[in-house]
Amino acid sequence: MMRRNHQNEFIQTVRAALGHPAFIRRKAPELFPHQPCLHAAISDQALNRSVSERRLLLEKFRQEAIPLNLDVIGVDSAHDAAETIVSIVRQKETEWGQTKHIVTWKHPLIDRLNLSDRLSGMDMPVHVAEIEIADRDEFCKQAQHAIIGVTSADYAIAESATLVLKTRPGQPRSVSLTPSIHIAVITLNHLIDSFRELYAILQSDPADVAEGLTSCMTFISGPSKTADIEACMVHGAHGPREVYVLVLLSPDQLTAQNSQKQENADGAVDVEKSGLNAAEIIRSNQAVFSNQ
């Protein structure tokens, strides 16, 4: 147990780091300083980098991904991304059953891949998450039997090779967590440098502010792993055993993320008008995913 005097020293150090007087206790909403001008400046820098600057972030992301067993693949177009996914699906063996099921987000970037058409006739059904709540129970069962889940991401943090995924209608966390293999398709525009930038964006970017925090925000840094048993590293114990990030390198591939952010912001207003409060939304999501 921490001695009382050491505890006080520790708390005073934290307060000083947050820029607060060491001996003044604050209420919970006041714990973190709100600095709109600073957040806006950081957010503006993060969201308005040049293509060359984003390519440098991609290289940083690649280097951080190596020790995490996270595969990062650059592709020139949505067509190339789709062909890469089809190749992965063909190569991988199912862990149970004979049919290779694929589940995907309902997302503009994923829609452009036309995976259902590309895999038709191969006995590899593609199940797309629908926005309607009535369809979600069936989709959860499909996700549990899927070998591959395909998502996009909201942001990709270069300093730790971390994908940031918000849970929304049509974009459930089951797609990234339940299948044996997770494939995330992003553009250069998704890349940011640090968690500091992510925090600033969530605080000040108009689209993110309009949407607010969803019922879940998932941070993914490589495949699931554990060394609990005999200190032996095992992948896939609590989630996907393999994770791939496909990055669209062409600058003209950036519109899908921008349109999705605007749809999310518009959708947040619609949810607010629907009369659902935050607790009801969280309960509905918990009910949907409780069987995963």
HSE at residue 163, side-chain half, CA atoms within 13 A, is: 30
| Structure-block tokens of residue 159 | 């300093």
Of the ranges 62-71, 225-234, 267-276, which one carries the lowest mean pLDDT score?
Answer: 267-276
Give residue 257's pLDDT. 56
Give residue 267's pLDDT. 60
E-only strand ranges, 120-175: 126-128, 146-151, 155-157, 162-166
Q: Is the dihedral of CA 233, 239, 241, 243 positive or negative?
A: negative
State the average pLDDT over residues 135-148. Answer: 86
Instruction: Give the integer Cα–Cα distance in Å for 121 and 129.
Output: 21
One-letter amino acid identity for 249? L
Per-residue pLDDT of 25-66, as tens digits, reads: 766 555 556 677 888 899 999 999 999 999 999 999 999 999
Q: Which residue has the higher pLDDT, 136 or 92?
A: 92
Per-residue pLDDT of 64-104, as tens digits, reads: 999 999 999 999 999 999 999 999 999 998 877 788 999 99
pLDDT confidence band for 217 (50 / 70 / 90): very high
CA angle in degrees (0–180, nearest 5) for 36-254-208: 30
The H or E element that residue 245 is part of is: strand 242-248
Instruction: Give the integer Cα–Cα distance in Å for 54 and 72.
Output: 15
pTM for this one? Answer: 0.77
C-alpha separations of 234 from 38, 166, 223, 229, 230 in Å: 42, 27, 10, 9, 10
Per-residue pLDDT of 149-196, as tens digits, reads: 999 999 999 999 999 999 999 999 999 999 999 999 999 999 999 999
In our burial notation (b when 16+ CB lie closer than 10 A, e otherwise), range 12-27 reads: eeebeeeebeeeeeee
One-letter amino acid identity for 220? I
Give residue 193's pLDDT. 97
Give residue 274's pLDDT. 34
Mean pLDDT taken over the chain: 82
Using a 10 angstrom Cβ sphere, with 0-12 exposed, 13-18 middle and 19 or more buried, the burial of residue 214 is buried
State the average pLDDT over residues 224-229. Answer: 74
Give residue 30's pLDDT. 56
State the average pLDDT over residues 4-14. Answer: 78
62 alpha-carbon distance from chain centroid: 17
Of the ranges 83-87, 139-143, 281-285, which one carries the lowest mean pLDDT score?
Answer: 281-285
Q: Which residue has the higher pLDDT, 66 or 289?
A: 66
Q: Any bridge partners for residue 243, and if so which?
A: 70, 182
